[in-house]
Structure 1
Amino acid sequence: MDRDKFVDMVNDKLKLIRNEYDFTQDRMAEIIGISKKTLVQIEKGRSSLGWTGAVAVCTIFKDSEILQMIFGGDTQDIILSIAFENYDKNYENTMGGKVWWRDVEINGNYRIQQNIISNHYRILDGDDRRISSSFDIEYINKRMKELLGDE
């Protein structure tokens, strides 16, 4: 997934997110910091939130069931993976992949998981803390070897 795909997915679901929270167009536009006219154009597919707007929507509405369904859980992981290409050392607790993740590899105290919706990867430690995330499996495999002391 790249920035354009991410932005397109948020653009396509913006009206559903607004309806999920039962906001008027005026209120939604105010919350995300755009004009109502721009919001209407985005909802009609004639304009775009852009990267910054899509990130803002995902941050503000991080608990949206719509966003969780289209991205497979928390969007922060995806945003950071896209923004930094490969993201390391945030060490945040996760739920261990109970819903949106499948184990790809388990080695020692670490495991590689892949999101079943977005297909991005992450490495979790034995306490289910996120060590690294990326869309690049080669990068994840390299990080796993580093963590295991194989390099």
Structure 2
Amino acid sequence: MDKKAFTKVIQEKFKIVRTEAGYTQDSMSQTVGLSKKTLVQIEKERIVPNWTTCVSICALFRDSDILTSTFGGDPLELAQVLSRGNAHYPQYNKEMLYWEKLEEKDGWRLEKNKMNDLYRVVNADNQAEHASYLERQAVTFFKQKTSE
């Protein structure tokens, strides 16, 4: 796959990714940084999104089932390889550098980012399931998951 084919696929999947995420055209255009008119043109397949828009879609909707199944894995990783020609994976645990464990119970972890005060709840598979800048929201979600 090359960049041209990649952008064509993003164009074809644009609307379904938006609806999968529960976004309106207005909220999607604001999130991605497009005018609503441009977004509509992309969704109607009248114009092809530029490379920057495609990469932002892959980054913002990285966990999209639609994108993951379409590309056979992480869409952002594919965009990185298409852009750079390769992907390099550091051999250290970045999570430990930035995330402080506040509480752990039944395989769930409540963590706080040391740099930006973002809170998240991580499951036993080390997948973040909830993130918020509001500590009480993260704590509430953590308590719901650990009391089930």
Equivalence map 1:2-151=2 (5 Å): 2-91=2-91
Higher strand share: 1
- Opposite residue 31 of structure 1, the aligned amino acid is T
Q: What is the number of residues matched between the two proteins?
A: 93
Post-superposition shift, 1:46? 0.7
**Percent identity, aligned pairs only?**
41
Q: Distance in 2 between matches of 1:48 and 1:17?
A: 15
Structure 1's consecutive aligned runs of 4 or more residues displaced over 2 angstroms after TM superposition are: 86-93
TM-score by length of 1: 0.57
Structure of larger gyration radius: 2
Supply the distance in 2 between the matched residues of 1:80 and 1:23 (Cα, whole angstroms). Answer: 25
Any idea what the Cα deviations from partners look like across 1:45-99, whole Å, max 9, x if unmatched? 1112111100000000001111011011211221121111133344488xxxxxx
- The TM-score, its normalising length taken from structure 2, stands at 0.59
Please provide the CA RMSD for this pair. Answer: 1.6
Letter in 1 for 2:13: K
Higher helix share: 2
Name structure 2 gaps, 5 residues minimum: 94-148
